[in-house]
Structure 1
Amino acid sequence: MADNNIYQFKISLKNIKPKIWRRIQLPGNFTFADLHEAMQHYMGWSDCHLHEFKVKNPITGTKDTIGVPDEDRFGFGLMPEVIPEENIKIARYFVFAKDKATYLYDFGDGWYHDIVLEKIIAPEEDVSYPRCVTGKRACPPEDCGGYAGYEDLLEIIANPQHKEYKSKMEWLAEVYATPFDPEKFDLNSVN
């Protein structure tokens, strides 16, 4: 029954003000691997780093780690058992509005995201899912050094007199097809 429904999530990047966030909708029959792919696309990441989800198991009440099992990975817990993300449907863990999870992308830079289920709705006719319905601000560039590196980057690109301004702007031009604007979110381009 839940597999026919659409799950609407608000995904917010933690520790950055003003918030960088997206509201996405996807089918309940999607797996955590599908949720990961949707988040990568709609947040603006390029899926070149490890990731994992931490989510409360609705049956046991314990936190489960869902991701890509790898005996060499460490995650952000104490070596937890990792449940394979391609085997677990999101509807199994997200049961009620306000159910939450944490998503970590890039164990080096440590981009933590809050995921909150806002509501479960019926699918709309003639709408393709998954989709992003709204959001705010551009995602930080990959490999910019986590939260502190991103703050430094914003400070540098806001000051053309800064000694690193030219090199950072050249780097951003290599990464992005259009000039990087940290305040811009273009719904049409993500959909």
Structure 2
Amino acid sequence: MPPRKQTTERSVYQLKITLQDLRPPIWRRVQVYSDITLAKLHRIIQEAMGWTNSHLHAFTIQGVEYGQPMPDYELDMRNEQTAKLSQVVPGEKFKFHYTYDMGDSWEHEILVEKVLSPEPQTHYPLCLTGKRACPPEDCGGVWGYAEFLEAIQDPNHPEHESMLEWIGGTFDPEAFYLDEVNQQLKQIR
């Protein structure tokens, strides 16, 4: 009997990334190669959600934290640059967490919805869909974002003008631009 052929084909994880504690929810559905590092997944999340990569972050997977090594801060964190997604995330229906900006504490739940075979001629990472705009950086987390939305939507609010000026004149919390996200994702190799 001939030896079994070893398959080395990469798989694709379909992930639903949901920003926690906000209603209505803000989320993105992306497809990524299963063998990317968590460092690359961080970059993908930043682009897909609309963050600016201006703050610290961490993944929490089965009670273990992964992130950028920072020995000066004595953080007990494993190196995200050497941890491959498929090594730490077993597959479908598995959930893990990503925190962005330790001050504002933007908590994201990531669900592996499906494990797929790659489609020929498809560039990964790929965002399939999503809902709502990402909150602005440094707005104060979930509660600050709620106050920000209240202020910009009420012309009689005492901070209405200053918040609009701070955000650059306009902010549509319902906006999500799939084509723009995918253009940014194409820059990730």
Taking structure 1 as the reference length, the TM-score comes to 0.88
Q: How big is the shift at 1:161?
A: 1.5
Equivalent position SS for 1:170: helix
The answer on 1:70 being equivalent to 2:70 is: yes
Shift of 1:185: 1.0
Instruction: Report deviation, 1:184.
Output: 1.2
What is the match of residue 190 of structure 1? 181
Shift of 1:165: 0.8
- 1:71 Cα deviation (Å)? 3.1
Hey, what's the Cα distance between the residues in 1 that align with 2:31 and 2:24? 23
1:114-153 equivalences in 2 (<5 Å): 114-153=109-148
Per-residue CA shift, 1:28-55, capped at 9, x if unaligned?
1200001000000000000010000000
1:24 Cα deviation from its structure 2 partner: 0.6
Q: How does 1:14-163 map to 2 (within 5 A)?
A: 14-56=20-62, 63-73=63-73, 81-163=76-158
Separation of aligned partners in 1, 2:33 and 2:136: 28
AA matched with 1:66? Y
Q: Distance in 2 between matches of 1:181 and 1:34?
A: 28
Return the alpha-carbon distance in structure 2 between the equivalents of residues 40 and 27 of structure 1. 17
**Number of aligned residue pairs:** 176
**Over aligned residues, Cα RMSD in angstroms?**
1.5
Query: Equivalents in 2 of 1:146, 1:55: separation in Å?
Result: 22
Task: Say which one has the larger Rg.
Answer: 2
Q: Alpha-carbon deviation of 1:96?
A: 2.2
**Partner SS state of residue 71, structure 2:** coil
Measure, in 2, the Cα distance between the counterparts of 1:135 and 1:159.
26
Q: Contact 1:3–1:29 (CA<8 Å) still a contact in 2?
A: no
Q: Give the letter for the 1:148 counterpart.
A: W
TM-score under structure 2 normalisation?
0.89
Once residues 122 and 109 of structure 1 are traced to their aligned partners in structure 2, the CA distance between those partners, rounded to angstroms, is: 37
Using the alignment, how far apart are the partners of 1:136 and 1:42 within structure 2? 11
**Amino acid in structure 2 at the alignment position of 1:105:** Y
**Amino acid of the structure 1 residue aligned with 2:131:** K
- Measured after TM superposition, the shift of residue 2 of structure 1 is 7.0
Structure 1: runs of 5+ lacking an equivalent? 57-62
Alpha-carbon distance, 1:3 to partner? 6.2
Do 1:3 and 1:27's aligned partners in 2 also have CA atoms closer than 8 Å? no
Q: Taking every aligned residue pair, what percent have the same amino acid on both sides?
A: 44
In structure 1, C-alpha distance between the alignment counterparts of 2:32 and 2:54, rounded to whole Å: 23
Q: Which moved more, 1:2-11 or 1:88-97?
A: 2-11
Misfit runs of 4+, over 4 Å: none
